[in-house]
Structure 1
């Protein structure tokens, strides 16, 4: 599933105007993008800190705090996008960070 086009749908706040999407070439790229959004939020909230660290529970809290987040992953077998929920995204993010830690 790693090289399948992935669309992340998100709504950061209750305001429906904040709904947006970001597309990525693969699931790992999408997970990197989600981590990047979280890291940007941390940097914006802590502009005077040079190094910011976080653990997986912090990332999970960020994902859970969003009003909505889901993923659409292209499935070439059916030539359509399959939907995945927030818990799947959290599991994929965990797997991605674990893989990066091994490298």
Structure 2
């Protein structure tokens, strides 16, 4: 159950960060409210996750997967360039999360 809550926290955080891009510096009310709601939901779910998943594991996965997802959204949907360095960074984040889980951190 903890990792399901963590997946929800990551999804809410990624949605909030994406909405922030469209908030135009918080000058547009709709995306600004989605940003606020997304971060509140993300932290609430992350807090629930910490009842059953260690903080180091949960935070590493939350931050790493969220970062990789937002970078991928930027490249795929927002016209951001994909350099070899950026692709390698995303790959390293994913590998780091996998290694953390294989290492028995949870």
- Would the TM-score normalized by the shorter structure come out above 0.5? no
Determine which structure has the larger helix proportion and give its number. Answer: 2
TM-score, L = length of structure 2:
0.27
Determine which structure has the larger strand proportion and give its number. Answer: 1
